[in-house]
């Protein structure tokens, strides 16, 4: 094999798309997918590539320092693409410590293991840290997040991601470890766990359940199809400049309520029900504490330097997403049995 890459969190939503892309596109790379398989990790996401010769799955916890050191000894990685994280803002509000352990301590464990394993050969190595636009805080009606925007995280989730970003930069600055960081906006697409807005609402519509809109529904997010994020990660990993940060976004801002109306329209068509049927499920509920008003990304750096731009229009991406969930209702049924029911009751009752 030409290279051995560690991808963490590869059984999750974005990670599974990154693993698939790398396994298929780079048959000469050995792709090692390390995942703890939390509630958000699901090997069903990778059944189509699980028997590939250049793919290995390792079940493990990035918080377990000795395990991580052992993994670096075993594989002698050329690079790391680090996606493993606790990723849901609402869960970070009820259980911040889980986020500190995985997102901060877990990231530092990986950095330490990489530092020890790579210290005599940094020039051929790369630590790629996948982060979020939420580290920049919340925007008013105007403006966009640039790579130079000062950090101002507002939730336990975004604070833990901001902290991990700082540690990655500190290892670059202090020890010379080559790194890249990308900060991306809201992803959507197949395989997203139905605790996040779009898959939650798709699942609720198909089960004729209420659609819980937080607050006034006028919060704004920028949405990017997950495969476009995976392609950006591939490009940055191979062509990005070391020690740099790249913002990734869809140039595609929606208020939640407009997005939900668009989803309802497409779901009515997919289910063959009358106009207005899904819309009748919309229910305004108590707001998320500390809810960030607006995120919006200026992705011109990655566009100018690396030639990346989103490949799909939003309506098309949303259509593909709905098609996937409607064709994979077993997947939805499997991930919404068991613990999910308790989570849902606690979060929305």
Q: Choose the binding region for ligand NAD from 56-64, 89-97, 167-175, 204-212 (rule: CB under 6 A).
A: 56-64
Handedness of CA 136, 142, 143, 145 (dihedral sign): positive
178 in contact with ligand DAU (CB under 6 A): no
Q: Whose CA is closest to 126, among 172, 158, 160? A: 172
Residue from 115, 196, 229, 231 in contact with ligand DAU (CB under 6 A): 196
Q: Where are the beta strands (DSSP E) in the chain?
A: 3-8, 29-35, 55-59, 79-82, 126-132, 179-184, 186-188, 211-214, 220-225, 244-248, 253-255, 282-285
The Cβ of residue 236 has, within 10 Å, a number of other Cβ atoms equal to 25
Task: State the DSSP code for 90.
Answer: H
Half-sphere exposure of residue 165, counting CA atoms within 13 Å on the CB side?
25
Site string for ligand DAU, 319-348 (x = CB under 6 A): ------------------------------
243 in contact with ligand DAU (CB under 6 A): no
213 in contact with ligand DAU (CB under 6 A): yes
Nearer to ligand DAU, 137 or 178 (CB): 137
The Cβ of residue 329 has, within 10 Å, a number of other Cβ atoms equal to 11
Written as one string, the DSSP assignment of 175-204 is H---EEEEEE-EEESTT--TTSHHHHHHHH
Is 67 tagged catalytic? Answer: no
Site string for ligand NAD, 131-170 (x = CB under 6 A): -x----------------------------x---------
Site string for ligand NAD, 11-50 (x = CB under 6 A): xxxxx-------------------xxxx-xx---------
134 in contact with ligand DAU (CB under 6 A): yes
Is 133 tagged catalytic? Answer: yes
Residue from 179, 219, 314, 325 in contact with ligand DAU (CB under 6 A): 219
Q: Whose CA is closest to 56, among 32, 21, 83, 29? A: 32
Q: Choose the binding region for ligand NAD from 81-89, 270-278, 319-327, 340-348 (rule: CB under 6 A).
A: 81-89
Is 262 tagged catalytic? Answer: no
72 in contact with ligand NAD (CB under 6 A): no
Q: Find the catalytic residue in 78, 90, 134, 292.
A: 134
Burial 246-280 (b: 16+ CB within 10 A, else e): bbbbbbbbbebeebbbebbbbbbebeeeeeeebbe
Half-sphere exposure of residue 203, counting CA atoms within 13 Å on the CB side?
25
226 in contact with ligand DAU (CB under 6 A): no
What is the rounded distance in angstroms from the CA atom of residue 61 to the CA atom of residue 35? 7
Footprint of ligand NAD on this chain (CB under 6 A)?
8-9, 11-15, 35-38, 40-41, 61-63, 83-87, 102, 106, 130, 132, 161, 184, 186-187, 193
Footprint of ligand DAU on this chain (CB under 6 A)?
87-89, 132-134, 185-186, 196-197, 200, 212-214, 219, 221, 256, 288, 295
């Amino acid at each position: 094999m030409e290279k051995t890459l560690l991808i963490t969190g590869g059984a999750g939503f974005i990670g599974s798309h990154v693993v698939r892309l790398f396994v298929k596109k780079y048959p000469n790379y050995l792709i090692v997918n390390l995942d703890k398989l939390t509630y958000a990790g699901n090997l069903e996401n990778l059944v189509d590539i699980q028997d590939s010769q250049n793919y290995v799955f390792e079940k493990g916890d990035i918080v377990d320092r000795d395990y991580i050191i052992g993994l670096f000894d075993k594989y002698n990685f050329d690079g790391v693409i680090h996606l493993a994280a606790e990723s849901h803002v609402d869960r970070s509000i009820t259980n911040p410590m889980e986020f500190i352990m995985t997102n901060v301590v877990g990231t530092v464990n990986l950095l330490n293991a990489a530092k020890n394993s790579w210290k005599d050969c940094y020039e051929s190595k790369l630590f790629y840290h996948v982060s979020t636009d939420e580290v920049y805080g919340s925007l008013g009606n105007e403006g966009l997040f640039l790579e130079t925007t000062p950090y101002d995280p507002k939730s336990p989730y975004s604070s833990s991601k901001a902290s991990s970003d700082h540690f990655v930069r500190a290892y670059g600055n202090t020890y010379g470890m080559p790194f890249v960081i990308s900060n991306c906006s809201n992803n959507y697409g197949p395989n997203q766990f139905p605790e996040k807005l779009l898959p939650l609402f798709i699942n609720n519509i198909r089960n004729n359940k209420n659609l819980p809109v937080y607050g006034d529904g006028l919060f704004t997010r920028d949405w990017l199809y997950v495969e476009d994020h995976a392609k950006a990660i591939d490009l940055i990993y191979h062509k990005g400049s070391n020690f740099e940060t790249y913002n990734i976004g869809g140039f595609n801002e929606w208020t939640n309520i407009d997005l939900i109306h668009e989803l309802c329209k497409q779901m009515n068509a997919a289910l063959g029900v009358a106009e207005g049927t899904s819309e009748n499920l919309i229910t305004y509920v108590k707001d998320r504490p500390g809810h960030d008003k607006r995120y919006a990304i200026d992705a011109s750096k990655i566009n100018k330097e690396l030639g990346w731009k989103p490949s799909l229009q939003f309506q098309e991406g949303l259509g593909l997403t709905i098609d996937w969930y409607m064709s994979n209702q077993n997947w939805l049924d499997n991930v919404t049995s068991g613990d999910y029911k308790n989570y849902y009751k606690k979060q929305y009752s």
